[in-house]
Structure 1
């Protein structure tokens, strides 16, 4: 019975392995697993037995205690004395060690520790133990010696290559490092190069030596920047030039070459009498005599306002520092200082709540300006190619259009009937009807010539008077040299209505009439009655895009690609230069009053200029998506329009007031569409009816459209 009880009381998992020469600790409160001393490597051979259980006894749970063995012995002795104990007592004795073990493990190991205890073997402190994962020790004992980790695997003992074995995290296998890899790691740890054959101190090869070689080492061509001026140096020089102009940089003053000698034995300095004395501190024990001499005006100081006094106190003299009394106005000055801090006016930011709707200019509604064209009324068909230009007669009854098919077509506006077709044998770039109602004449620009033809429409007497006007010219006795050649039309051309041909040396792209109908401009100015041509410009500032006459003054407006110049024809001088701030000007139109100009550009901008306001645009409209080809003003009503490559014609209300203090009012009111885009082009030209609020437009689809 006693042997059975002993077998039940013995638990292998709580057995304690006792090494030779080491006593078991009698304390039950602290498990030996937490305070396992460092293994002694010198005695490791003596502590191991031939059995595997003794060789790996460090892997067992050492949470047992010597008191358990004592209790087991006591239980055994009791069993020898009392053989008549029952089986229930044996079971109670067997369950007692397990209860004691659970009580020990559940107790906090550091609950009863204090700073005076001497059995704290690991003095690592309150640091994470993960810091010691890559080290062979887990901490230090009280003597400062390392506490090494116990052996955990069989490979640490049996495998001699365990120190050079690493685990591959990708495959989970153990890899043995070769001698070369171990040598590489050791060299890297010592800070040496990984390659053994690398010599960092080998002699350098001097490629660019003083010896002249047959072939160059490098034959790379010079950079482009070596042939052009440096932009950085240009900016520095410009900054220095501006600083010199502003006076920020002064030239060095030339020193006087003559030496100056001073009289060392002079009684006093010559300039000492003019120098001011050193400033004395205000609050001193003994102020200077010149300050004491002013004490006679002390009564006057007391009568002055506090803001007018130079000093807030009266200076006094004292024989010593001990005789200086307490400052009488100390509390008063501190009180005034507090008032300054409390009542000091601070700057307040006045936040203004602005309604976003107030930032938008107040414009009238388009329905209040309901006089503009809104829909398409008529279509003029007949051209076989794109229609580049068109013009309306002064009375508004006839319409002329020019196309790339080499013909001019004359239309009746009211019925869209083609009255006449005049073949010219080339591309018609521009066409303009004479604005004089007493003359029936049309000018057309084709290649390098300007054609003047009589359409012979309407009143027969008007057509006959026009022919007589052109035929009444008599050649002068001494013809002057002119920049253009005037030629009479042939008989076949006269039957088609052609009267004159003005030949130029270069292509003509635009033609325009003066208001009275006698002058014609194509950069050169042609006088119809005298058949005389003149060039008002010595040279052109860029490529000329279009020209126009001022309606009331002897001004000619010339638009180049980047600027618009206004010339006085009588004085032959430049009056104004307008900067449209666009890439390339494409078209130009002048208001009937002559004080406002609008121009279109190929970068989809419409600029409005007020000549009395500034040389910069008064307003720039960007309501088109593509390039602008034409702009026009109505002769009677406050409307202007623009045509673009997006196939649209935009009508805008442009009111110009007689009051010079009020700026023009510009309101886009209608977008007219109808042209079909061809060759990525849309509306090429447009014109207003002289008396009605109608607008004509021509495009690349070969059709002229009327919007009313």
Structure 2
């Protein structure tokens, strides 16, 4: 009887019939629209900028869009955007650094200094920031570019008043033109560049042992930040430069979440974004505190862009 009941349970147990579907994989692909429905889109090359013999690492248009700056291991070039003509070429410069020889002694060695990143000033169309592989930032004013500032944007009066009070408290200089902006102070670490034919500007020494990979301007143009992920000291991975007072600020002594990869200023508030490989942190510069942390699903964040109007949106 027990054997019969077991066989009955097996016989009466529910069975599921799995239906196998034969689906063509090509039928799952979406139908591509006709190219004629996507017009207008570029079909021919407008301007070709030929001149670099090495890989181009960065490029930037100035505020008026009349010139383009590109950098590579073979130097810095400035182009006319309409004709594609190279207006000026600056070859890699020379610098003397201290390195250890085979015997472990520190000796002075002359090395080539190549540009890694470039960024034009958002207001003055003739000021160019250049980050090098020697840990220096150059603020250049090419003589081939017109010294005409870009159109001023409307800004809130409250922000302007607060910034003016801060500048007066910090002993900031009065800036009326790009020439005044690049005039070195009587005392300070910012020195004038004298060995660059066709250029005028300032040299900012940050860290000799770091490659500066990113440059970011504040929308008003008074602050410039640079990022050096491979800096030996954590405090040198992200540095902010004040152009009015010609002072360098290192706001972060520790970096949570890994090396800093990119940075950005909030266009309206005194807030600052920094990106590590997997998250974004928003800091309040006045309160010197962490405001918010954004966690993304990206494996490696390389760049960040903040909406220029209100600053309510960001893209990584």
TM-score tier (shorter):
0.5 to 0.7
- Match in the other structure for 1:511: 215
- Match in the other structure for 2:254: 539
Runs in 1 of length 4+ with deviation above 6 angstroms? 364-369
- Match in the other structure for 2:314: 597
* Distance (whole Å) between structure 1 residues aligned to residue 76 and residue 288 of structure 2: 36
Q: Give deviations 1:560-579, integer Å, cap 9, x for gaps.
A: 11111111222221111111
Q: Which structure is higher in strand share?
A: 2
8 Å CA contact retained: 2:139, 2:201: yes
- Match in the other structure for 1:502: 204
Q: Give deviations 1:174-210, integer Å, cap 9, x for gaps.
A: xxxxxxxxxxxxxxxxxxxxxxxxxxxxxxxxxxxxx
Q: 1:371 to 1:595 in 2, by over 3 A?
A: farther
8 Å CA contact retained: 1:432, 1:442: yes
8 Å CA contact retained: 2:240, 2:249: yes
* Distance (whole Å) between structure 2 residues aligned to residue 371 and residue 473 of structure 1: 51
Matches of residues 566-585 of structure 1 in structure 2 within 5 Å? Answer: 566-585=282-301
Q: Which structure is higher in helix share?
A: 1
Deviation at 1:497, TM superposition (A): 0.7
* Distance (whole Å) between structure 1 residues aligned to residue 289 and residue 41 of structure 2: 39
Is 1:435–2:152 an aligned residue pair?
no
Matches of residues 306-325 of structure 1 in structure 2 within 5 Å? Answer: none
8 Å CA contact retained: 1:559, 1:585: yes
- Match in the other structure for 1:410: 78
Q: TM-score, normalised by structure 2?
A: 0.64
Q: 1:382 to 1:567 in 2, by over 3 A?
A: same
Deviation at 1:589, TM superposition (A): 1.9
8 Å CA contact retained: 1:451, 1:498: no
* Distance (whole Å) between structure 2 residues aligned to residue 431 and residue 511 of structure 1: 7
Deviation at 1:455, TM superposition (A): 1.2
Is 1:390–2:59 an aligned residue pair?
yes
Selected match of 1:444 from 124, 130, 140: 130
Matches of residues 127-526 of structure 1 in structure 2 within 5 Å? Answer: 373=42, 375-405=44-74, 407-425=75-93, 426-437=113-124, 440-447=126-133, 448-459=135-146, 465-471=177-183, 473-475=185-187, 485-489=189-193, 491-493=194-196, 495-505=197-207, 506-507=209-210, 508-522=212-226, 523-526=238-241
Highest CA radius of gyration, 1 or 2?
1
Q: TM-score, normalised by structure 1?
A: 0.30
8 Å CA contact retained: 1:429, 1:509: yes
Q: Give deviations 1:271-323, integer Å, cap 9, x for gaps.
A: xxxxxxxxxxxxxxxxxxxxxxxxxxxxxxxxxxxxxxxxxxxxxxxxxxxxx
- Match in the other structure for 1:73: none
Deviation at 1:374, TM superposition (A): 5.3
Q: Which has the higher contact order (CA 8 A, sep 6+)?
A: 2
Q: Give deviations 1:432-479, integer Å, cap 9, x for gaps.
A: 000114x521001002111111112343577x942333227343xxx7
- Match in the other structure for 1:529: 244
Structure 1 gaps, min length 5:
1-363, 480-484, 600-708
Q: Give deviations 1:563-617, integer Å, cap 9, x for gaps.
A: 1111122222111111122221122222234222222xxxxxxxxxxxxxxxxxx
* Distance (whole Å) between structure 2 residues aligned to residue 520 and residue 559 of structure 1: 16
* Distance (whole Å) between structure 1 residues aligned to residue 302 and residue 225 of structure 2: 17
Q: 1:432 to 1:460 in 2, by over 3 A?
A: closer
Task: Give the root-mean-square deviation of aligned CA atoms.
Answer: 2.8
SS in structure 2 of the partner of residue 587 of structure 1: coil
8 Å CA contact retained: 1:473, 1:529: no
SS in structure 1 of the partner of residue 190 of structure 2: strand
- Match in the other structure for 1:556: 272
* Distance (whole Å) between structure 2 residues aligned to residue 388 and residue 434 of structure 1: 19
Q: Give deviations 1:633-686, integer Å, cap 9, x for gaps.
A: xxxxxxxxxxxxxxxxxxxxxxxxxxxxxxxxxxxxxxxxxxxxxxxxxxxxxx
Count of residues in correspondence between the two structures? 225
8 Å CA contact retained: 2:126, 2:147: no
